[in-house]
A and B are shown apart, each in its own frame.
Chain A
Amino acid sequence: DAGVTQSPTHLIKTRGQQVTLRCSPKSGHDTVSWYQQALGQGPQFIFQYYEEEERQRGNFPDRFSGHQFPNYSSELNVNALLLGDSALYLCASTKGGSDTQYFGPGTRLTVL
């Protein structure tokens, strides 16, 4: 049973560029949440997708957007990258109303 997978593993971008990160949820899971983890900090909630709609959003600017596909996989897009966007981006999945979220390995984004 495959767990949560994310791609790519690492990414290097320059300021002002745009980036797309991808996530495939654990088998049987239909809800995907994205988190940003800066170095030495705990993960911070960005947003959550369920039934292809953004259901909840954290305190992140509109430069952060997402999408969920019919197969429950999800993308996180970040426009106009800033140096401060450098972080580990984590995807977590869960099933319906379950309270247990399972995390993927993350995508490490470096903005130069």
Chain B
Amino acid sequence: QKEVEQDPGPLSVPEGAIVSLNCTYSNSAFQYFMWYRQYSRKGPELLMYTYSSGNKEDGRFTAQVDKSSKYISLFIRDSQPSDSATYLCAMSVSGNTPLVFGKGTRLSVIA
């Protein structure tokens, strides 16, 4: 079993839809949870960062962490074609420890 599992998709939605992206993990020591967006042939861009359990909202993006279920989610409201990218979940045990990534979910938002 991999430490972080993420459905690679691809996921295709119409413009304006609510998108739900998820990851599960096995290491209960993970405390820091991140979502990165990666456009084709580019480096990952940090979207959301959450420490421990709870929700965090930033504009159209909401990140949720449920440590009891070892499950994290990213919601994108009013999705736009510019949101088409690969979304990577990442997590770490403590500050400056290596990030452990999921495989990434490829999202296409169709106009």
Contacts and interface: CB of A to CB of B under 8 A. Distances in A.
B96 A43 contact: no
Interface in B95-109: 95-104
A65 to B, nearest CB: 17
Interface stretch (B43-51, B53-61, B68-76): B43-51
Contact of A41 (B44, B45, B46, B103): B103
B99 A43 contact: yes
A98 B51 CA distance: 12
A103 B97 contact: no
Given A40-B8, A40-B103, A42-B88, A99 B43 contact: no
A99 B92 contact: yes
A98 B94 CA distance: 9
A98 B95 contact: yes
B45 A108 contact: no
Contacts of B88: 42-43
Interface in A58-100: 58, 88, 90, 92, 94, 96-100
B101 A98 contact: no
A3 B41 CA distance: 17
Contact of A98 (B4, B44, B96, B103): B96
Contacts of B102: 42
B6 interface: yes
B98 A105 contact: no
Interface residues of B, number: 28
Contacts of B6: 42
Contacts of A40: 8, 103-104
Contacts of A92: 99
Given A42-B104, A106-B43, A97 B95 contact: yes
11 contacts: A4-B43, A6-B43, A43-B99, A45-B98, A45-B99, A90-B44, A96-B96, A99-B32, A99-B49, A99-B95, A102-B46
Interface of B: 4, 6, 8, 32, 34, 36, 41-46, 49, 51, 88, 90, 92, 94-104
